[in-house]
Structure 1
Amino acid sequence: MFGIGMPELIIIMVIALIVIGPHKLPELAKSLGKGLAEFKRASEDFQRNIQEEARKSEEKVEPHQEAVTPPAEPEHVATAAAAPAEHAAGEKKDAPHA
């Protein structure tokens, strides 16, 4: 854990006991434990919110991807585009041969 071995941990505890005092050390440890528990709870809540938002954004993207197919051209547009070619072909058939 954090690269701290048993000898280092004992030294840190002895220094904390000297600096803080034997009466305040249990209170400090209790406060530290509550703080770490609150931090853990907040980080889990944050991760859960991020995952939920990612899931919601994926759900929004998936239906949109299905609707991306281009719409078919309306018949009047396709007919209007083909009409000049048919008309030109019709003129050639009706034209008298000289």
Structure 2
Amino acid sequence: MNLGFGEIAVLVLLGLILFGPKRLPEIARQMGKFVAEFKRASNDFQAQIHQEINKLEIEESARKLAQDTKDAVGHPDDPDSITSALSRLTERIKSIPQDYDA
């Protein structure tokens, strides 16, 4: 909310008419405190929202990583899948020198 000089002058004049010159500084102080408190609450709320979003993104990444690991390794309870994964890894390691010789 950007207020120009003319808009501020109109608000001050309106405040003088409504509240008088004695109460205007007190009301301005209260308004300043209110605006500062509102901004602080707004910033706290935004920080909480960002924190929750980051938490959800981390949880989603962890779930995806766990699923990718299960897909790559198979079921760790199944000895055949572990043996198969180990065999694939061994074959890949053996092929590394061939990749560099080519």
State the Cα distance separating 1:48 from its structure 2 match: 0.7
Q: 2 CA distance for matches of 1:52 and 1:63?
A: 16
Aligned residues: 75
Superposition TM-score, scaled by structure 2 size: 0.61
Q: 2 CA distance for matches of 1:38 and 1:18?
A: 27
The alignment partner of 1:31 has SS state of helix
Q: Which residue of 1 aligns with 2:38?
A: 39
Q: Which residue of 1 aligns with 2:88?
A: none
State the Cα distance separating 1:23 from its structure 2 match: 0.9
State the Cα distance separating 1:20 from its structure 2 match: 0.5
Q: Are 1:48 and 2:55 counterparts?
A: no
Superposition TM-score, scaled by structure 1 size: 0.63
Distance 1:49 1:8, change over 3 A: closer
Where structure 2 has 5 or more consecutive residues not aligned to the other structure, the ranges are 81-102
Q: Structure 2 matches for 1:1-98, cutoff 5 A?
A: 2=2, 4-68=3-67, 69-70=70-71, 71-72=74-75, 74=78
Runs of 4+ that moved beyond 6 A: none
Q: 2 CA distance for matches of 1:31 and 1:5?
A: 21
The alignment partner of 1:23 has SS state of helix
> Hey, which of these two has a bigger chunk of helix by percent?
2
Amino acid in the other structure paired with 1:32: M
Where structure 1 has 5 or more consecutive residues not aligned to the other structure, the ranges are 77-98
Q: What's the C-alpha RMSD, in Å, of the aligned pairs?
A: 2.3
Q: 1 CA distance for matches of 2:62 and 2:32?
A: 46
State the Cα distance separating 1:6 from its structure 2 match: 2.4
State the Cα distance separating 1:64 from its structure 2 match: 0.6
